[in-house]
Structure 1
């Protein structure tokens, strides 16, 4: 499977379903899926991706913050592959920030999220990890874990005027010509 996968788009049923728990995180098929997710995320300038976004209804996400065309100010972090992630604590302040989604191309939304998140997950070797995230990576984790619950970012937006087209976002927020 180690290749770019087609991305499910808003309206497809899989994006509104709860993902299934992965019974064996060491399964070679899960490792292959993770490789393909990483390829797909990088090819589409994402900073995170969840398996349901490539039409596979399992609990697997990747978080990899890095500057790219869609997120020029993103901090750099190594990719983290999370099997069966569960947010165990959210804290800090509720802070709104601009989000996009590979499954909702062409739109950005000003989404309120907590500034800190603690996540418990398994690695591809079966190790249980608990890790804290802060700032933009915490935002990514919350966004991707929402996908595992069948939630897309527009439902988190408090005011409909906080939704922009990608072009307007680039012009108004990124101040591109």
Structure 2
């Protein structure tokens, strides 16, 4: 079971290192890690479990956040229609994206960043993505809203980029051109 102490924090060199592509089939160890990452997210969204184990709530977790430099992340959240999206993406890629951008009005957070960093993080409003499941099946999804934002956040992790790298340092709340703000409940 992944706990908060297993998640490395801002300043650790692994968070700034580009993760390596997987070759398939995945090892038993890699499949176990994938399941553990997804289970952390599920547990962190259950109030009783989160309180019992001191878990911070999360909707995404990248492998390099648990000190594994492989191109894999887990997402667990609802889409804009209220449908549960819960998956592990191996070797994820954005294959197309909208010109329009979006950003979370209350900013982004990260399980690896213990301090609040304010500002707008520009993201594509809509993306089409491809990735492999842990069993080697190729998936293609169209994402918008919070799922699109979360996918881009986790993909950045795999490239050694943290969300605050994308905030305008001179004016964190500057309007983002050609964008529609996304307000998360």
Q: Can you give the 5+ residue segments of structure 1 that lack an aligned partner in the other structure? A: 68-72, 164-172
Hey, what does 1:104 align to over in structure 2? 113
Q: Is the 8 A contact 2:16 2:159 kept in 1?
A: yes
Give the Cα–Cα distance (whole angstroms) in 1 for the partners of residues 145 and 78 of structure 2: 13
Q: How does 1:22-41 map to 2 (within 5 A)?
A: 22-41=22-41
Q: Is the 8 A contact 1:25 1:122 kept in 2?
A: no
Q: Is the 8 A contact 2:71 2:92 kept in 1?
A: yes
**Aligned mate of 1:86, from 71, 90, 93:** 93
**Aligned mate of 2:125, from 106, 109, 115:** 115
Shift of 1:39: 2.7
Shift of 1:35: 1.4
Please report the TM-score for the alignment, with normalisation by the length of structure 2. Answer: 0.77
Give the Cα–Cα distance (whole angstroms) in 2 for the partners of residues 88 and 152 of structure 1: 21
Q: How does 1:136-155 map to 2 (within 5 A)?
A: 136-155=146-165
Give the Cα–Cα distance (whole angstroms) in 1 for the partners of residues 170 and 116 of structure 2: 12
Q: Is the 8 A contact 2:126 2:144 kept in 1?
A: yes
Q: Secondary structure in 2 aligned to 1:100?
A: coil
Shift of 1:108: 4.1
Q: Deviations over 1:104-147 (max 9, x none)?
A: 12314421111111111101111111111111100000000000
Please report the TM-score for the alignment, with normalisation by the length of structure 1. Answer: 0.80
Q: Is the 8 A contact 1:100 1:107 kept in 2?
A: yes
| RMSD of equivalent CA atoms | 2.5
Q: Can you give the 5+ residue segments of structure 2 that lack an aligned partner in the other structure? A: 45-55, 174-182
Shift of 1:76: 4.8
Q: Secondary structure in 2 aligned to 1:146?
A: helix
Shift of 1:77: 2.0
Task: Give the 3 Å change call, closer, same or farther, for CA 132–66 of structure 1 in structure 2.
Answer: closer
Q: Is the 8 A contact 2:71 2:158 kept in 1?
A: yes
Shift of 1:159: 4.3
Give the Cα–Cα distance (whole angstroms) in 1 for the partners of residues 99 and 84 of structure 2: 21
